[in-house]
Amino acid sequence: MISFTQINGYPIMIYEKDGKKYYWLAGCPHKKRPLNEGKVFDDKIMCPFHKAVFSLITGELIKEPESKTPCINCRLIKADIIGDKIVFEEEPFIPQLPSK
């Protein structure tokens, strides 16, 4: 099961499996797009923009994006909730929709 929320201005995805919760920044690191409309299947999420696939357990990139722009060191950004604060393993970003 996956849910989405906002904490301290950051969109967070919470993936729950077998009673354990995994917290991730809800943004694709490839082009910093939102993942809240991503397809979830088999403990993975697919970015709705360039079809990159990430593990919701480890954050690792499973399938490269369908894009000419490579995704260097591409993985989801892990988050930890401590009280009412959020701490990220890497520098977070605010996902943005593409400009028209």
Spell out the domains of the chain, with CATH numbers in brackets: 2-88 (2.102.10.10)
pLDDT digits (tens, 9 = 90+) for 51-97: 999 999 999 999 999 999 888 889 999 999 888 789 999 999 999 98
Using 50, 70 and 90 to split pLDDT, how confident is the model at 2?
very high
d(CA 49, CA 36): 11
Indicate the Cα dihedral angle 56, 61, 67, 70, nearest 10°. Answer: 140
Give just the sign of the alpha carbon dihedral 51, 96, 77, 70: positive
Average pLDDT on 2-26 reads 95
Is the CB of residue 66 less than 8 Å from the CB of residue 51? yes
Size of the chain, expressed as the number of residues it contains: 100
* pTM attached to this predicted model: 0.91
Is the CB of residue 71 less than 8 Å from the CB of residue 82? no
Nearest to 2 by CA among 39, 49, 50: 39
pLDDT digits (tens, 9 = 90+) for 28-60: 999 999 999 999 999 999 999 999 999 999 999
Q: What pLDDT score does 83 carry?
A: 84
